[in-house]
């Protein structure tokens, strides 16, 4: 369950009166699973018993009663750790005694055992968040519903946003109710700042980059020293990434930091979802001959917060630990507040409303082809692309917003831009959050004009936590490698069936399968998918879809067939897979579920089809190798039993029955997605990437088997 209560208490070593540590603890039903995950054999821990241990029975798998936050680390840490051999953890001296931290391992065993002083429950929340994001990407986008709070947030924005003399915009914080007095936010933020400061003092390179970030923040006027008492103090920390072999950091502000009466984010409205679906942006990106991408520079930080609300955006900062600790106000929209994504995208929408009539092409792009602060769009000629580029620069400039990191498959579009504003490197396509460290993510290479996958193969760790975390870090928004991903989904399902705890060792059979799959993952980096789906010449488009199912999963795949005056090209557009439910369904029912998934997937690409143009669109065709599913589609729904009736009704609401046809199993590319392929198999599977070869001929030559009569169709009402 969530946090409902907190308690203030004192912590001290056993049999000693000092030091006495004051702490505010949150009360939870459970902190984490037992640690270590299994009791350790004596040969691993015997050598530690001659030291005064904080926990003399650390080797026993037992529940965790108290979790100490990082804010207390500096107060309990005493000195240099004691090191043993490379296969043993270290001993860290603390006020409570020596603590065993690290991993026990054995060369003769594939498993290893970990033990540590701190295991954070937010780690589980982060994993749940990452998994949720993974499953959302794997689902066709749902129909949006209206939330009364969203309407209130929109009304609040309309009535309170304002514009400065230079054209930039300002906003108010959208509180859902009057915020309380955050009585202890200063105490928490001060403690966290000092801990962060101590960490930075141990790393010169990191400290320098952190200081550079904050100094620029102040020089740009995005933060300033405040003499007024703060209403809420936001702790801050850094996230790092390696970009072209260079360490880069960004300072992140934690608006979710809990005080006794909640966090700032608890009282802020999220606002309606204005973010364009990444799949729509990517599909639209595949429609243009000439494409360009760019990034809005410091999008959040170029939108001002009203002066009356800045007291809720206070932070502590000093560049030297011997200086006075100053209170600063953050003067612009803050990365880390719940309301910030809505405010940033709503300002872009407002800019189009206020200035868009003078920039019609750019206005369309800022409505359709923007994902957070990234623009990915295109045209069918260089001249149109140049005009669009100028309009985007000028329109965003009206709000003091600038574009950088320009990339294009047409070098001519970059010639007149400063080199510092362009990039010839592959463009990463990842979610915009601080947790988007992926083991497998999509890239677009402007030089080859192809999509490909970058890869960071993790070390094999054989626990449910590690496997789920790694699977959730596969980012494949268009489903190009669905046959590989479905194998990973099966791993997760198999682990759930076992009922194992997060950190329990897993059976050898599943561990061997997982290790084999990881070894194959580097092959995915050899995949190159052409970005451009259309044609340079006048053509006719046709959407072709395939559905299939197995006992473990079902799959839907959509292809775009382009008729260039009798010359045909066919390419995979997008695909989806879903695991079969744990409760057993018959294969015909699963095949019908695959057909429904295909119908929903087809509906989800309607913005892309509108962009291609309905006047040049031929009738879509949908294929399944299930004669029973096709028989159900051709049966009046009132004659069908409930499960089948409901799904057939949904399919027929989305697609006409006349568009559904039979295909032989050997010619069904969705078979790969329903059964799963290893990377080496997928790489050379032309059926998956381009559909059956007969699609490249005239439609009257297609191999469409006739549907046999089925007098004994199952699932018919008596």
- Global pTM value: 0.80
Q: Mean pLDDT, to the nearest integer, of 626-638?
A: 96
Question: Over the stretch 564-603, which tens digit does the pLDDT of each residue have?
Answer: 989 999 999 999 999 998 887 899 999 999 999 999 999 9
Structure tokens at 509: 């059979």
- Reference 181, options 308, 267, 256, 306; nearest CA is 267
Structural domains in the chain, sorted by start: 5-101 (no CATH), 150-271+304-334 (3.10.10), 464-528 (no CATH), 536-701 (3.30.420)
Contact 200, 206 (CB under 8 A): yes
pLDDT surpassing 90 at residue 18: no
pLDDT surpassing 70 at residue 344: yes
pLDDT surpassing 90 at residue 288: yes
d(CA 255, CA 332): 14
Per-residue DSSP letter, 371: E
Structure tokens at 91: 């001993």
Q: Mean pLDDT, to the nearest integer, of 403-419?
A: 93
Q: Which residues contact 158 (CB under 8 A, 6 or more apart)?
A: none
pLDDT surpassing 90 at residue 669: yes
pLDDT surpassing 80 at residue 293: yes
| Range in 437-441, 545-549, 711-715 the model is least confident about | 437-441
| Range in 72-86, 281-295, 488-502, 577-591 the model is least confident about | 72-86
Give the per-residue pLDDT at 76.
76
Give the per-residue pLDDT at 440.
60
Helix, coil or strand: residue 711: coil
Contact 174, 161 (CB under 8 A): no
| Range in 158-162, 292-296, 614-618 the model is least confident about | 614-618
Q: Mean pLDDT, to the nearest integer, of 144-163?
A: 91
Helix, coil or strand: residue 347: helix
Question: Over the stretch 317-329, which tens digit does the pLDDT of each residue have?
Answer: 999 999 999 999 9
Structure tokens at 203: 């790393």
More confident residue, 76 or 581: 581
- Reference 167, options 304, 365, 313; nearest CA is 304
- Secondary structure (DSSP) of 90-154: EEEEETTEEEEEEEEE-TT-S-EEEE-S---HHHHHHHHHHHHHHHHHTSPPPPP---HHHHHHH
H or E stretch at 377: strand 374-379
Give the per-residue pLDDT at 693.
97
Identity of the highest mean pLDDT range in 42-46, 139-143, 229-233? 229-233
pLDDT band of residue 2 (cuts 50, 70, 90) is: very low
pLDDT band of residue 711 (cuts 50, 70, 90) is: confident
Give the per-residue pLDDT at 12.
80
Cα dist from 240 to 247, 351, 428, whole Å: 7, 32, 16
pLDDT surpassing 90 at residue 94: no
Q: Mean pLDDT, to the nearest integer, of 408-434?
A: 81
Give the per-residue pLDDT at 85.
67
More confident residue, 492 or 61: 492
Strand partners, 129: none
pLDDT band of residue 389 (cuts 50, 70, 90) is: very high
Chain centroid to CA 137: 8
Phi-psi region of 303 (alpha: psi -120 to 50; beta: other; left: phi over 0): beta
Question: Over the stretch 196-248, which tens digit does the pLDDT of each residue have?
Answer: 999 999 999 999 999 999 999 999 999 999 999 999 999 999 988 766 667 78
d(CA 296, CA 302): 10
Q: Are strands 90-94 and 370-371 parallel, antiparallel or unpaired?
A: unpaired
- Reference 303, options 334, 333, 346; nearest CA is 333
Q: Are strands 112-115 and 97-105 parallel, antiparallel or unpaired?
A: antiparallel
What is the phi/psi pair of residue 599, to 5°? -60, -40
pLDDT surpassing 50 at residue 463: yes
558 burial level (CB within 10 Å; 0-12, 13-18, 19+): buried
Mean pLDDT over the full length of the chain: 86
Contact 296, 372 (CB under 8 A): no
């Amino acid at each position: 369950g969530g946090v409902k209560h907190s308690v203030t208490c004192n912590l001290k070593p056993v049999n000693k009166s000092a030091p006495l540590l004051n702490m505010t603890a949150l009360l939870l039903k459970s902190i984490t699973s037992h640690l270590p995950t299994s009791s350790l054999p004596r040969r691993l821990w015997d050598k530690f018993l001659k030291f005064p241990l904080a926990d003399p029975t650390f080797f026993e798998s037992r529940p965790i009663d108290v979790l100490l936050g990082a804010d207390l680390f500096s107060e309990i840490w005493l000195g240099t750790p004691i090191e043993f051999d490379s296969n043993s953890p270290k001993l860290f001296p603390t006020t409570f005694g020596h603590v065993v931290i690290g991993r026990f391992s054995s060369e003769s065993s594939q498993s290893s055992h970990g033990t540590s002083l701190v295991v954070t429950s937010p780690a589980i929340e982060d994993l749940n968040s990452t998994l949720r994001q993974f499953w959302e990407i794997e689902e066709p986008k749902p129909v949006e519903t209206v939330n009364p709070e969203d309407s209130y947030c929109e009304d609040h924005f309309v009535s309170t946003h304002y514009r400065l003399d230079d054209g930039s915009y300002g906003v108010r914080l959208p509180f859902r109710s009057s915020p309380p007095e955050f009585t202890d936010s200063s105490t928490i933020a001060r403690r966290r700042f000092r801990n962060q400061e101590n960490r930075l003092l141990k790393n010169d390179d990191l400290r320098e980059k952190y200081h550079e970030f904050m100094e620029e923040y102040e020089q740009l006027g995005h933060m300033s020293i405040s003499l007024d008492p703060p209403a809420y103090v936001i702790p801050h920390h850094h996230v790092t990434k390696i970009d072209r072999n260079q360490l880069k950091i960004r300072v992140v502000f934690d608006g979710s930091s809990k005080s006794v009466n909640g966090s700032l984010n608890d009282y802020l409205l999220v606002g309606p979802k204005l973010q364009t679906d990444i799949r729509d942006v990517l599909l639209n990106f595949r429609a243009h001959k000439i494409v360009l991408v760019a990034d809005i520079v410091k999008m959040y930080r170029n939108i001002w917060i009203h002066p009356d609300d800045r007291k809720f955006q206070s932070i502590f900062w000093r560049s030297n630990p011997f200086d006075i600790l100053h209170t600063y106000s953050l003067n612009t929209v803050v990365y880390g507040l719940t309301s910030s994504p809505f405010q940033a995208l709503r300002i872009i929408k407002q800019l189009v409303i206020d200035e868009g009539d003078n920039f019609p092409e750019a206005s369309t792009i800022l409505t359709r082809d923007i994902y957070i602060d990234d623009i990915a769009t295109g045209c069918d000629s260089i001249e149109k692309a140049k005009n669009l580029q100028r309009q985007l620069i000028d329109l965003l400039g009206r709000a003091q917003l600038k574009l950088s990191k320009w990339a294009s498959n047409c070098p001519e579009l970059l010639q007149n831009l400063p080199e510092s504003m362009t990039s010839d490197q592959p463009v990463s396509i990842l979610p915009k959050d601080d947790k988007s460290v992926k083991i497998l993510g999509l890239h677009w290479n402007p030089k080859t004009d192809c999509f490909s996958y970058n890869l960071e193969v993790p070390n094999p760790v054989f626990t449910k936590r590690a496997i789920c975390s790694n699977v959730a870090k596969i980012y494949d928004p268009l489903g190009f490698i669905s046959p590989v991903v479905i194998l990973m989904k099966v791993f997760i399902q198999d682990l759930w069936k076992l009922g194992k705890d997060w950190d329990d060792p897993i059976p050898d059979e599943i561990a061997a399968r997982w290790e084999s799959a990881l070894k194959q993952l580097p092959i995915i980096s050899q995949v190159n998918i052409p970005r451009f789906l259309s044609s340079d010449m006048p053509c006719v488009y046709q959407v072709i879809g395939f559905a299939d199912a197995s006992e473990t999963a079902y799959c839907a795949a959509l292809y775009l067939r382009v008729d260039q005056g009798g010359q045909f090209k066919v390419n995979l557009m997008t695909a989806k897979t879903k695991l079969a439910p744990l409760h057993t369904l018959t294969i015909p029912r699963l095949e019908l579920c695959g057909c429904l998934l295909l119908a929903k997937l087809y509906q989800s690409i309607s913005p892309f089809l509108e962009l291609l143009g309905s006047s040049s669109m031929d009738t879509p065709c949908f294929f399944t190798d299930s004669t029973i599913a096709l028989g159900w589609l051709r049966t009046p729904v009132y004659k069908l039993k409930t499960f089948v009736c409901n799904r057939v009704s949904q399919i027929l609401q989305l697609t006409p029955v006349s568009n559904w046809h039979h295909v032989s199993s050997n010619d069904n590319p969705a078979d790969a997605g329903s059964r799963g392929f290893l990377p080496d198999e997928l790489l050379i599977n032309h059926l998956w990437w381009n559909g059956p070869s007969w699609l490249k001929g005239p439609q009257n030559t297609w191999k469409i088997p006739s549907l046999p009569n089925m007098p004994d169709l199952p699932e018919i009402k008596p």
